[in-house]
Amino acid sequence: MSPSNSPSTSTAHLTPQYIISKKRENKSPHNSTEISWFIRQFSNGNVKDYQMTAWLMAICINGMTDEEVAALTEAMVQSGEVMEWSCFLNGNNDATNVHKVDKHSTGGVGDKVSLILAPLVASFGLIVPMMAGRGLGHTGGTIDKLESIPGFQTQYSAKEFANLLLSPGATSNEPLGVAIVSPSKNICPADKRMYALRDVTSTVTSLPLQTSSIMSKKIAERPDSLVLDVKFGKGSFNSHVEESLELAKRMIQTGELCGIQTTALVTRMDDPLGCAVGNWLEVKECIDIMTMEDGDTQQCELSKDLIDVTLALSGQMLVQGGKSATLKDGIAMSRENLINGKAWEKFKEMVVAQGGDLKSVESPNEYPQATFSASVIASQSGYVSSIDSMEIGLVSVLLGAGRNTVDEAVDFSSGVMFHKRPGMLVEKGDVLATVYTERQAVLENSVLRVKHAFAFSDSRVSLLPLITHFVTKDSVEDFDQSIIE
């Protein structure tokens, strides 16, 4: 990687005060030597928390160039374990030459795309080394969802992660090629400490710091390419599309400067994605999609937005992995492997490899249901025009499916299952959704809040495009909706 602006290799003149004052005065950008030295000294304890906080605030005020962000990202990567594939593969050139492609989402409500996407892409022979996070606040986390599968393990060292990906699948001698794990404490430790400081000093929203924090964990995987799902809307951290486009462009530039081909889809998160919100409920929705019969119109209608985003991301990952010439062809290929069961078979292989109980995913209806549940009944007729995703996300936390603090436990069986989605016709008395929880005291209020999250129209509504833009290092284009129809 070479994200610097011709840095000097000498560090003898560097002090924390020099680094802080240079960014505060903002007369010239940092070079990569300065940034890597500062992060290294912070990791070693020679730069104190109050000095790092001052520098972070200076960045928040004065910003960073793309080259500075890339240098900061790489410095955070180098503060811990890195997936150096050539070291792990022990001369296995066949595995070394297999394209490694990953995806990252900026998060939303009901976003369980990775559970289908990772095995779907791996079913084409690509390696998908996916590190994912836990839920916090109104957004759910992929790791929480997978850990709702009894026995499913997500904690692995970098070497164990590589061995898992390259181990034979349960039904063939081909490499498994897919695993979804939680970043170990040794992945980007500097970022973890820096984020804790940002969280209590109001610098979380700084675009350069957001970008480097997000991208450092992905770059530590050392994929060959990366596809981003950058969300905007009520249930996203970015309310407006312009904010998400700017974030997408910064993340793409950072990835490219770090030597990783990076593109992005910008997607709408005004309504919950799919028909389930809650850990096991979302796993079950994904299982239902991967096992649905061709022509299953009910599941397709309830989960259409989830399926469309998944296919679009998969199609682009196949393009970048050299399996498809165009996004349109990649989407068609992905749809075929979703329908013919290859994604489902790869998902089951992943579950077994990571210690999960295969019976639970093969017989999802036997999974223990929450103790308390209630139906949300429509009090009017009309067409559903929207479902407030932020409100649903907050209700899911109240029900026990999410957490407000990082050390809070989640309940796997709690959440909301929707029976009506935006665009559907509703008659008075129809069941809009079912609410599940182990907390009887919050059930009545949660039902009321879910009901009020629905908005109705007397006439049929035209839904806004789900995927709005396709972004590369060179351009921002309107997304062609017709290629996923």
Q: Is 213 a catalytic residue?
A: yes
Q: Is 198 a catalytic residue?
A: yes
Q: Give the integer Cα–Cα distance in Å for 181 and 169.
A: 17
> Measuring CA to CA, how many Å separate 65 from each of 5, 53, 62, 197, 257?
10, 19, 10, 22, 12
Q: Find the catalytic residue in 191, 224, 229, 411.
A: 191
CB 345 within 8 A of CB 124: no
Q: Where are the beta strands (DSSP E) in 171-260?
A: 178-181, 225-232
Q: Find the catalytic residue in 23, 103, 138, 217.
A: 217
Q: Give the integer Cα–Cα distance in Å for 76 and 56.
A: 14
CB 317 within 8 A of CB 101: yes
Q: Find the catalytic residue in 103, 112, 134, 198.
A: 198
Q: Find the catalytic residue in 23, 99, 104, 469.
A: 104
Q: Find the catalytic residue in 32, 123, 212, 213.
A: 213
The amino acid that residue 249 corresponds to is K
The amino acid that residue 144 corresponds to is D
Q: Helix, strand, coil: what percent of the chain each, to 5?
A: 45, 15, 40
- Judged on CB neighbours under 10 Å (0-12, 13-18, 19+), 53 is middle
Start-end of H helices in 340-428: 342-353, 358-362, 389-399
Torsions phi, psi for 432 (to 5 deg) = -80, -40
43: left (phi over 0), alpha (psi -120 to 50) or beta: alpha
Residue with tokens 């989605």: 421
What residues have CB less than 8 Å from 349, skipping those under 6 apart? Answer: 119, 169, 170, 171, 176, 178
Calculate helix-pair angle for 327-339, 113-122, nearest 10 degrees. 100
Nearest C-alpha neighbor of 424 from the set 291, 275, 311, 295: 275
In what helix (H) or strand (E) does residue 327 lie, and over which residues does it extend? helix 327-339
SS3 string, 261-299, reads EEEEEEEECCCCCCCEECHHHHHHHHHHHHCCCCCCHHH
Catalytic residues: 104, 191, 198, 213, 217
